[in-house]
């Protein structure tokens, strides 16, 4: 997946124009030859954060704070807010991240929405700490005992 939008900006703008003229999702879908689900996502994005976010789709990835993720997931899961309402209230440009947050929130709780540490975990490639003299002797004894036949 390249992160590049499948449909160009002009088509998304045209969909919004048709929506503003009073056409429904099904009609827009037929007129533009775009799946109804795609039109629904475009219109949800347009209604929640405006034309700017709709035309920027696929060009940049928005990073949301833990507090925003938590508030949005809680509003939908616990308070009965709809996904489009939460998108509009919290300025979320797409349903995809919100649905991921909801799944994580429901399955693992609020802590699942905290940012994960980036990079390789420490320890695997780290040099061993210096052993004390006592630990060194213990290691040598174990090695000699392993070599000695019983």
pLDDT of residue 99 exceeding 70, the answer is yes
CB-based burial label for 86 (10 Å; 0-12, 13-18, 19+): buried
- The secondary structure of the chain in percent helix, strand, coil, rounded to multiples of 5, reads 60, 0, 40
**Predicted TM-score (pTM) of this structure:** 0.55
Distances (CA, A) of 72 to 53, 93, 97, 107: 18, 12, 11, 16
- 79: Cβ–Cβ under 8 A, 6 or more apart, which residues? none
Dump pLDDT digits (tens) for 31-70: 999 999 989 988 888 887 777 777 767 666 778 899 999 9
pLDDT of residue 2 exceeding 70, the answer is no
Per-residue pLDDT at 127: 63
Q: How far apart are CA 32 and CA 70, in angstroms?
A: 36
């Amino acid at each position: 997946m390249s992160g590049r939008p499948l449909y160009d900006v002009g088509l998304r703008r045209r969909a919004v124009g048709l929506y503003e003229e009073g056409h429904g999702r099904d009609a827009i879908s037929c007129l533009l030859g775009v799946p109804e689900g795609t039109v629904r996502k475009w219109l949800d994005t347009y209604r929640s954060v405006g034309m700017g976010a709709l035309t920027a789709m696929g060009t940049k990835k928005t990073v949301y704070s833990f507090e925003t993720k938590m508030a949005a997931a809680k509003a939908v899961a616990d308070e009965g807010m709809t996904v489009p309402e939460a998108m509009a209230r919290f300025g979320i440009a797409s349903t995809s991240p919100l649905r991921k947050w909801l799944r994580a929130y429901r399955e693992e709780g609020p802590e699942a929405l905290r940012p994960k540490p980036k990079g390789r975990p420490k320890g695997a490639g780290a040099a061993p700490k210096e052993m004390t003299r006592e630990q060194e002797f213990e290691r040598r004894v174990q090695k000699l005992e392993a070599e000695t036949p019983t």
